[in-house]
Amino acid sequence: MFVEEPVWADKPSGLDKSRDASGVEVWVPHLDPMDPREPEVVQAELLASAFAEERLERALFWYFTPAAIAFSRELPRRAVVYDAMDELSAFKDAPRSLIAFERELLREADLVFTGGRSIYEAKRELHPSVHAFPSGVDVAHFARARESQPDPEDQAAIPHPRLGFFGVIDERLDIELLAKVAAKQPDWHFVLLGPVVKISPTSLPQARNLHYLGPKTYEELPSYLSGWDVCLLPFARNEATRFISPTKTPEYLSALKPVVSTSIRDVVTPYGERGFVRIADSPDDFVEACRASMQPPVESWQSEVQRFLAASSWDRTWTEMERLMDTAMARHGEPASRSVVSARNEEQAQRAVGK
């Protein structure tokens, strides 16, 4: 089951249970704002009651954020996985308690998975069993964008060339770079998909060639992507981006679209070094990289990209993760199991558009 972040509701505190389309059971804590207890205390009580109702004696716990240990530390576990997708303590307005929670989680964890090479290097000395799992990709899903798709209604009237980005729009995006590039190329049109999080929408640059289309579902992304001429990763270089490994890099490439990125470490290596992505940081260099990307690709580029992505499936990632988890549970005398409790809350790294 998956424990979602809590929702404040004008009703007694409780736990709503449902199943998503894939069959995963989702538990959503509802917290009464009039309850005088700390939210972590209420969530711990709700989860303990749910474990008793479901007769869950022990489960494999998978943490996306150290903050979730505050309300789950007393629950019986078969093994513990810490999935470190990013350095959450470096994010804007991150609570100081995250650092202490991470120390506790590292003491409890049997395995630490990291979402990229740079964060692997940062965590590998902190735990005896740290494993790097760079972003995988559902190639077939995004390969739909290789064929012409009906243009979504809110994108159809936007002229070409179109340069697109999908993802959370927050302090990790270099809005100054975006504004300068848009000003230098007023005939290029920049399409940005995704929610604005932790920054004010009024802080975003405005121009007739900047189009903010809001959050889109995962299913909708190939339709938008199909209509783009160049895909962008215009990330700022700051503490919040020091360890990011953008999942959208292989997603863009699965569509066989040219990609231009700032010099984010996990994009430079391996994508930039292999010639799959153009790297540029200054506005002038970014413009030139985008202009070069509008030219027909070298004939071998597409085949090289496809060979690389063939080894990047999520199925392959999960197979290796499952092997490591089975080994960890065996050390505790536990049999292999599908019983996983995944816990997160509002400090979780944002992985998908609309989340």
- Which domain CATH number covers 231? 3.40.50.2000
Pairing between strand 210-214 and 162-166?
Answer: unpaired
pLDDT tens-digit profile of 306-346? 999 998 888 888 899 999 999 999 998 887 766 666 666 54
| Burial class of residue 241, CB neighbours in 10 A (0-12, 13-18, 19+) | buried
| Domain of 155, in residue numbers | 139-309
Q: Which residues of the chain have pLDDT under 70?
A: 88-94, 337-355
Q: What CA–CA distance (Å, rounded) separates 162 from 258?
A: 12
The verdict on 104 and 143 lying in the same domain is: no
Indicate whether 348 belongs to any domain: no
The verdict on 180 and 93 lying in the same domain is: no
The verdict on 131 and 155 lying in the same domain is: no
pLDDT at 327: 92
pLDDT at 183: 98
Q: To 5 degrees, how large is the angle CA 315–CA 306–CA 142? A: 65
Contacts of 214 (CB under 8 A, 6+ apart): 193, 194, 195
pLDDT at 141: 96
pLDDT at 348: 37
The verdict on 127 and 8 lying in the same domain is: yes
Cβ neighbour number for residue 55 with a 10 Å cutoff: 6
The verdict on 70 and 180 lying in the same domain is: no
Tokens of 199: 């920054």
Indicate whether 18 belongs to any domain: yes
The verdict on 301 and 179 lying in the same domain is: yes
Indicate whether 350 belongs to any domain: no
The verdict on 109 and 255 lying in the same domain is: no
Indicate whether 107 belongs to any domain: yes
The verdict on 152 and 234 lying in the same domain is: yes
pLDDT at 252: 98
Q: What CA–CA distance (Å, rounded) separates 307 from 320?
A: 20
pLDDT at 115: 86
- Torsion 53-58-62-65 (CA) sign: positive
Question: According to the 3-state scheme, what is the secondary structure of 233-289?
Answer: ECECCCHHHCCCCCCHHHHHHHCCCCEEECCCHHHHHHHHCCCCCEECCCHHHHHHH
pLDDT at 90: 64
pLDDT at 3: 84
pLDDT at 91: 65
Indicate whether 352 belongs to any domain: no
Distance of CA 243 to CAs 60, 130, 146, Å?
A: 27, 15, 30
User: What is the C-alpha end-to-end distance of the chain, expressed in Å?
Assistant: 18
The verdict on 103 and 248 lying in the same domain is: no
pLDDT at 339: 60
Indicate whether 40 belongs to any domain: yes
Number of domains composing the chain: 2
Indicate whether 9 belongs to any domain: yes
pLDDT at 297: 86
